[in-house]
């Protein structure tokens, strides 16, 4: 378990490896700024670290993490929109060329959605957030009415990715860039049991192993 003392020890190793020798990576990132080409919308699940999964260096990825890697649709400006603000910054300020919605197996947020359908606790922030992909849950309950909980979970995890891809296009500044070919959207699914990475293919309406 990562206790504060272990984190401090890890930071000491990080400083020793990256700042106590002639390592130009962070110097360049400070002097030249960040120029990531890929944005990842990932889950805050501790088992699914995008930089680790894709073996990326600092500066390679612009990462947004939230419960169940969800993208809300374009909404009015009332309230606080952390995910939307990060999307805007990555697309409009950093000019990323790819957005990857990265879902994963055994997602706690999707499990919560399937178990409660957002009805158990109307005051729950999680239930309210997961209602963004209620359409995915309803599809799964209809199409897989006789399936096991495990099958429903996996199907809902993947269909939630598709909902988020659709929601991305509700932002004009994303839809315009996709139409012009300067931005591409991807839906990927990481199976943490098998170590496989699946990609959504819209023309086939299914996830295919990469």
64: tokens are 């947004």
Pairing of strands 184-191, 98-104: parallel
Query: What's the pLDDT at 51?
Result: 97
Q: Check whether residue 88 and residue 137 sit in a common domain.
A: yes
Q: Check whether residue 14 and residue 50 sit in a common domain.
A: no
Query: What's the pLDDT at 26?
Result: 86
Output the average pLDDT for the chain. 93
To which H or E segment does residue 61 belong? strand 61-66
Give 196-208 pLDDT, tens digit per residue: 999 999 999 999 9
Q: Check whether residue 78 and residue 4 sit in a common domain.
A: no
Q: Check whether residue 11 and residue 103 sit in a common domain.
A: no
Q: Which of 143, 136, 73, 58 is nearest to 103 (CA)?
A: 136
Q: Check whether residue 2 and residue 79 sit in a common domain.
A: no
Query: What's the pLDDT at 3?
Result: 86
Q: Provide the number of structural domains found in the chain.
A: 2
Q: Check whether residue 107 and residue 197 sit in a common domain.
A: yes
Query: What's the pLDDT at 78?
Result: 72
> Which residues, other chains included, contact 166 with Cβ-Cβ below 8 Å and sequence gap of 6+?
none
Domain residues for the domain of 146 are 34-209
Give 148-191 pLDDT, tens digit per residue: 999 999 999 999 999 999 999 999 999 999 999 999 999 999 99
Q: Check whether residue 120 and residue 140 sit in a common domain.
A: yes
Q: Check whether residue 53 and residue 13 sit in a common domain.
A: no
User: In this structure, what CATH number is given to the domain that contains residue 106?
Assistant: 3.40.1050.10
Q: Check whether residue 52 and residue 11 sit in a common domain.
A: no
| % of residues, the chain, pLDDT over 70 | 97
> Which residues, other chains included, contact 55 with Cβ-Cβ below 8 Å and sequence gap of 6+?
none
Q: Check whether residue 103 and residue 77 sit in a common domain.
A: yes
Q: Check whether residue 81 and residue 99 sit in a common domain.
A: yes
Query: What's the pLDDT at 11?
Result: 92
Below-50 pLDDT ranges, the chain: none
Kindly report the length of the chain: 210
Query: What's the pLDDT at 132?
Result: 95
Q: Check whether residue 42 and residue 78 sit in a common domain.
A: yes
> Which residues, other chains included, contact 141 with Cβ-Cβ below 8 Å and sequence gap of 6+?
152
Query: What's the pLDDT at 1?
Result: 62
């Amino acid at each position: 378990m990562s206790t504060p003392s272990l984190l401090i020890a890890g930071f000491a190793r990080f400083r020793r490896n990256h700042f106590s020798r002639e390592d130009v990576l962070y110097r360049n990132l400070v002097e030249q700024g960040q120029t990531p080409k890929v944005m990842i919308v990932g889950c805050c699940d501790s088992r699914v670290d995008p930089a680790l999964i894709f073996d990326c260096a600092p500066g390679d990825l612009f990462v947004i993490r939230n419960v169940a890697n969800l993208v809300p649709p374009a909404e009015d400006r009332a309230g606080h929109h952390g995910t939307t603000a990060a999307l805007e910054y990555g697309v409009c300020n950093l000019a990323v060329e790819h957005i990857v919605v990265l879902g994963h197996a055994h997602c706690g947020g999707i499990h919560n959605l399937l178990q409660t359908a957002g009805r158990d606790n109307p005051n729950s922030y999680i239930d309210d957030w997961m209602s963004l992909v209620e359409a995915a849950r309803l599809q799964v309950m209809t199409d897989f009415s006789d399936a096991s909980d495990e099958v429903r979970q996996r199907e809902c995890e993947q269909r939630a990715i598709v909902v988020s891809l659709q929601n991305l296009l509700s932002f004009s500044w994303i839809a315009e860039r996709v139409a012009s070919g300067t931005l591409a959207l991807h839906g990927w699914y990481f199976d943490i049991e098998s170590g496989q990475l699946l990609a959504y293919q819209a023309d086939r309406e299914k996830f295919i192993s990469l």
